[in-house]
Every structure is written in C-alpha cells, then in structure tokens.
Amino acid sequence: MPHEFPELSFFLDASGRFSADKDLPIVIGGVAVATSKVDSLRESLLAVTKGGPIFKWSSAENDVDSAKAIFRLMVKRQITGVVTIVRKGSTEWDRYWETGQKLYEKGVTKLQEALPYAKPATSLKFHLYGIAIGQLLGFHLFRNKHLLPKDRPQPQGLAITAICDSDIQGESNIQVFKRIFRELGELANTQAITNMIPKFDVRLMTEQQEPLLVLPDYLAGYVYSVDVYGREKDSARRLLIEEAQKLVDRWPNTALKITDETFKENYLVEPHVFDRVLPKGEREQLIEELKAQGVLPSDWKAGQDDPGRRF
C-alpha cells in the first residue's frame, strides 16, 4: 500500500514592528513538526524549561539557561526552521502602505463601519504570514522529499495546522485571515511536484494557549537581535545572543533556512475580502485611479500577488 506523508503542524511568530517605519526589519520565524509529535515536543519543552514561566525572547536575558535549553531542544531534534528577514527600504514598501490606507479609508466611508482587517498593518501581517507558511511548506517538503508519496495513483491530501502567534483580535479579522488561507490549498506547483494537496487549518493563538509558539518566537527574535543589536558590544542581549549563536551554529543547514530579502509585494487586494466593501466596478475604478496617481504600477492587477503563487 502506498505510504502517506505525515500530517504537519506549523508554528509561526514575528519580531519587529508591523508599521510604516522603515528603520528596522520585520523577521518572520516558523517551525514545522509532524503533528503526531506535537504533544511529545510540548512535553519536552515544558520539561527543559522546568514548567515555566517561559519568557518571550524579548525578555529572555532574564533566564539565559532556559533560552539555551529551548534552542538546544530545537537543534537536538533538528526541527525544520525557516526565518525570513524582510527589509523595508523599497518603493514597494511605501506603495503598500499608501495603497492600503487609501483602500481602508474608501471602505470605511462607503460602509460607515470599522474595517480592522483592511488596515495596512493588519493586512501586512496576513500577507507576510501567508508567504512564510508557503516558504516553510516548500522547505520542509524539499527536506523530506524521500517521503513524498509519488507512487500513489491519486494525490494525497496533506492536513496542515498552521498556528500563528498574533495580537490580531476581533471576529471579522480572524474570519478574513482564515478565508485567505483556505485558498492556499490550491497550490498547483506543490501538487505537481509532490503528488499532495495541502489543506490548511490556520489558527491565531498566544503562547499561553500554545507553548510551542515560543519556538518560532525565539528563532525570529534571535535572528532579529543579531541583525539589530548584534554589533553593539554593550548590548544587554549580548550574552544571550552569544549563547544562542553557539547552538544555532550546530543546526544543520538542511534543517534551518534563513533568507534576507527586500519587501517587493503589492497590496493584497483579494476579491473575497473587498467585494462587500467595493463592488467590482468601483474596485476596478479605484485601482485605475491609483495607477494614474502612481500609487500602483500601470500593469498591476488585483489579486496578482497571491501569497501561494510561488509554491
């Protein structure tokens, strides 16, 4: 009987500010774990940190030993990890915020109600988490390509539970977030290469609800700190960074991928998000106005920047 690729659980977190400020980067961290191993990994995490409290990376200098234990756990298990440093110094970054704010204001005026999910800071978080989930999936599948069910007569459905640590609140925000990711299941490239059809269950949680979110928190926080504070000799984080570095250096590059890129995304204007706010005719008219103003490139089309397009 053809084998099946094991179901997956993703845990994602971010460091840096989701704001128009261009001085500091945003860092997205994610880890992939076979769902069948999630419970044992959680138990191991609580054991190595002696049951908590587990500090977030931003306060980890208060308990360097626990921080080392968390990194040692990830390295020992050779967990699949992906980190992306997103630089903000691009015209696309400025355009994203300008476009998002214009669309948000247009929608609020039309509906006379709050549209928190349409604010550029919120849509940016949706957007970058979506890209990170795709990157994590691609890297994990490539790492485990020997397990791909290529001998199956029909594609395997691959259940993926993606848990994102987020301060996004409100039912409308959460529903939009989930709606965006339901469409990520249509990844034609992934199906063609792997003979699998990913099926996402995306959730927003906190570390108190899911302690394993501390893993991407520490991974993203470490990379952010190296980038922002690493050259400061007197930094309060220096000892923490140095101790974490020793462990990260033991993480094989077949299991950990760190990329550094400049933001090049268009504003995420998906019809299923904005149809209720701007009917198709009005949306297309607004897009043409933004093109004429130079806010959008002349060849831009709504929905062309689907987070799953690369995978």
Overall average pLDDT of the 33-48 stretch:
96
The reply to whether 52 falls in a domain is yes
The reply to whether 282 falls in a domain is no
CATH of the domain at 209: 3.30.420.10
The reply to whether 86 falls in a domain is yes
Q: Are 213 and 30 in contact, with CB atoms under 8 Å apart?
A: no
pLDDT above 80 for 170: no
The reply to whether 68 falls in a domain is yes
Q: What is the structure's pLDDT at 303?
A: 47
Look at the chain and report how many structural domains it folds into: 1
Could you give the angle at which helices 120-143 and 91-111 cross, rounded to 10 degrees? Answer: 130
Residue 265, phi-psi category: left (phi > 0), alpha (psi -120 to 50), beta (remainder): beta
Arithmetic mean of pLDDT over the chain: 82
The reply to whether 67 falls in a domain is yes
The reply to whether 107 falls in a domain is no
Any residues with CB less than 8 A from the CB of 246 and at least 6 apart, and which?
A: none
pLDDT digits (tens, 9 = 90+) for 62-84: 889 999 999 999 999 999 999 99
pLDDT digits (tens, 9 = 90+) for 185-198: 556 677 788 888 88
Alpha-carbon gap, residue 13 to 185, rounded angstroms: 21
pLDDT above 50 for 248: yes
Domain that holds residue 146: 8-92+120-264
Global pTM reads: 0.84
The reply to whether 180 falls in a domain is yes
Residues in the chain, how many?
311
- Rounded to whole angstroms, the maximal C-alpha distance in the chain is 60
In the chain, the percentage of residues whose pLDDT exceeds 70 is 75
The reply to whether 210 falls in a domain is yes
